[in-house]
Amino acid sequence: MRVEDRFLKYVSYWTTSGDDAGVIPSTSRQFELAKVLEQELKDLGLDKVILTDHCYVYGLLPATSGMEGKKAVGFISHMDTAPDFSGKDIKPQIISDYDGKDILLKGSNTYLTVKDFPNLTSLKGRTLITTDGTTLLGADDKAGVSEIVTAIEQIIESGMPHGDIWVGFTPDEEVGAGADLFDLDYFKADFAYTLDGDYEGEVAYENFNAASAVFSVKGVNVHPGEAKDIMVNAALVACEIQSMLPPMETPSHTEDREGFYHLTDMSGDVASATLSYIIRDHDKAKFESRLATLKTIEEKINQKYGEGTVTLSIHNSYSNMLEIIEKNQYVVDIARKAIQEVGLTPLSRPVRGGTDGARLSFMGLPCPNLGTGGYGFHGPYEHVSVEGMCTAIEIVKNIVKITAEM
């Protein structure tokens, strides 16, 4: 099956994950695509194909004769799409021989513009798949899923020699839980790659250190006519907390390796208020300093208004995989060689986010991230090129070939 046909099939399944569900998968609808992938891997003849109760799909393409002693490589992508924007009833637009100009998204009468997405100029002449403007597309990460399955299919058809190749598809990556129940006792790869990036010549191995933080504010509510020296307005205290953070260290003012504090939700009244943040930084020391700043704010507010006025809770989400990859540089070297063999210059940029690979690296499976050929993720301007997906497939096959030659 052509990768574009496989991709269009996969995006027809609604697999949006959900925040704060407390279970994996966070939405049962992810099982619908998982069942399809389970059957496809079985139809391709893979061994050890299973779909777990928690919606993880695994499969093994066993080594060809004489290659049993080679390192086992794995390829991983996630099935869910981000809850940031609707992923239901996706209506893709297919644009052949793209002219390099702005694209009308017919469902919303809006435009995917070259001004906002300058990468579009490099896609001139390609076949693009976009949304109609009413949903996201799901290239993140069904492009990666499509590329892995298609690459496996082509490897089998070509008869190329290879060691063990493991395949894994995860739920709930978009809500930070994709690696939580990944079974490394079953998935016996020596190293792996997530296909979850954009530019198809990318190999990324730096990501944010990440945490979430919640300030819970308890106010003192009395009649406003009798409030002097008594009332503590929780909503105003919440505003004060936000004002104590550096105003230029937010997502809209930072780039590259610059970290930030991001206020994701704020609610409250006189009696109580809550502020929810995500904290990000590539540098471990700077990351820890940011968390210390939050704790200092908690202390100062409680000193000012009374102990117990503010309670801060912090949850560490994931760490920068660079710490692990630096000790396993060969996994990056293999990917770079594979990318060069398709005629591209490898691109390694700090990822301003996280991947399942970051968590898996700290669990013992070195796992950089490869590009998929998709762009504009998590919204109506998401798009992918067929040629980009085909290039990503060739890179996967090259990784398999290089690993077999080691």
Instruction: Give the active site residues.
Output: 80, 173
Nearest-5° Cα angle at 382, 380 to 385 = 145
Q: Structural domain of residue 306, as residue ranges?
A: 209-317
Same domain, 77 and 111: yes
Asked if 175 and 139 sit in the same domain, the reply is yes
- Pull the structure tokens for residue 125: 């002449």
CATH assignment of the domain containing 231: 3.30.70.360
Domains contained in the chain, number = 2
Answer yes or no: do 201 and 214 share one domain. no
Domain edge (last residue) among 261, 296, 317: 317
For residues 374 and 307, state if they share a domain. no
Per the listing, tokens 């194909």 go with: 49
One domain, residues 199 and 292: no
Domain end marker among 298, 317, 336: 317
378/274 same-domain check? no
How does pLDDT run along the chain (406 residues), one tens digit per residue? 999 999 999 999 999 999 878 899 999 999 999 999 999 999 999 999 999 999 999 999 999 999 999 999 999 999 999 998 999 999 999 999 999 999 999 999 999 999 999 999 999 999 999 999 999 999 999 999 999 999 999 999 999 999 999 999 999 999 889 999 999 999 999 999 999 999 999 999 999 999 999 999 999 999 999 999 999 999 999 999 999 999 999 999 999 999 999 999 999 999 999 999 999 999 999 999 999 999 999 999 999 999 999 999 999 888 999 999 999 999 999 999 999 999 999 999 998 888 889 999 999 999 999 999 999 999 999 999 999 999 999 999 999 999 999 9
Domain check: are 241 and 338 in the same one? no
Q: What is the CATH number of the domain that holds 353?
A: 3.40.630.10
Residue among 16, 12, 10, 11 nearest 28 (CA): 16
CA distance to 187, 304, 319, 358, per residue, from 194 (Å): 14, 48, 16, 9
User: Both 353 and 371 in a single domain?
Assistant: yes
- What residues are paired with 345 via a beta bridge? none
Collapsing DSSP to helix, strand or coil, 405 comes out as helix
My answer on whether 304 and 221 are in the same domain is yes
Q: Are residues 71 and 173 in the same domain?
A: yes
Phi-psi region of 308 (alpha: psi -120 to 50; beta: other; left: phi over 0): left
Task: State whether 324 and 308 are in the same domain.
Answer: no
Distance, CA of 297 to CA of 290 (rounded, Å): 11
120 plus 161 within the same structural domain: yes
Q: Whole-model pTM?
A: 0.90
Q: Which of 317, 337, 368 is the last residue of a domain?
A: 317
